[in-house]
Every structure is written in structure tokens, then in C-alpha cells.
Amino acid sequence: MIIQINTDKNITGSDETSASIESTISEALNRFSGKISRLEVHLSDENSQKEGLSDKRCMLEARIEGMQPIAVTNQAGTMEQAIDGAIEKLKASLQTILGKLKTY
């Protein structure tokens, strides 16, 4: 599974941050890794420098072999919460879709 991380102009992405995000996602989606060919992570700060309750956004787009891509989005107060929430949503979607096919 290839993981590609994209950030908007309001988020600074370092190599350490990217490695941490990749590790978190790989570990959480390990049981689906054989079915996902590529996973794109889109991180953004909706309000830029302004404070907000749920202004951090994470969108995960999973490309599954032989199927249409699946995309989920989560917004939260911190980037970690946004990522964790998006991972949980993606896991639920993958379980539903692949469970129907009984292929994982």
C-alpha cells in the first residue's frame, strides 16, 4: 500500500510528521493493506490562522484494486483527532464494502 500525504498551504508537513502519519495509517489499516493499492491523505486547516472548534480536516481516499476509490472526511479540533476520525470512518467503510465481497 502506497501512502501519499498532501497538505494545504496552511499546514507545514515535515518528514517526521509524514512518517508518523504513515505509521499510524499503516498500522490501523494493516488488515486491508492487501486490497488497497494506494491511499491518499489530504490534510487542511479550514480557517487558516484563526481559531476554530473543528477547523482541521483530513480526507482519506483509498484506491481499491478493481473498484472505485472510497473517500472519507473528518473534521476536528486537532489534526491528530481529524486523522484518527477519518481512519475509523475508512475502516468502517472498508469493512462494509469488502465484507459484502468477503475478500479480506
Question: According to CATH, what is the number of the domain 2-101?
Answer: 3.30.160.100
Q: Is the dihedral of CA 12, 54, 85, 60 positive or negative?
A: negative
Strands (E), 1-103: 2-7, 36-45, 56-64, 70-76
Total-model pTM: 0.87
In the chain, where the domains are located: 2-101
Per residue in 50-94, pLDDT tens?
Answer: 666 778 999 999 999 888 999 999 999 889 999 999 999 999 999
The helix/strand/coil state of 72 is strand
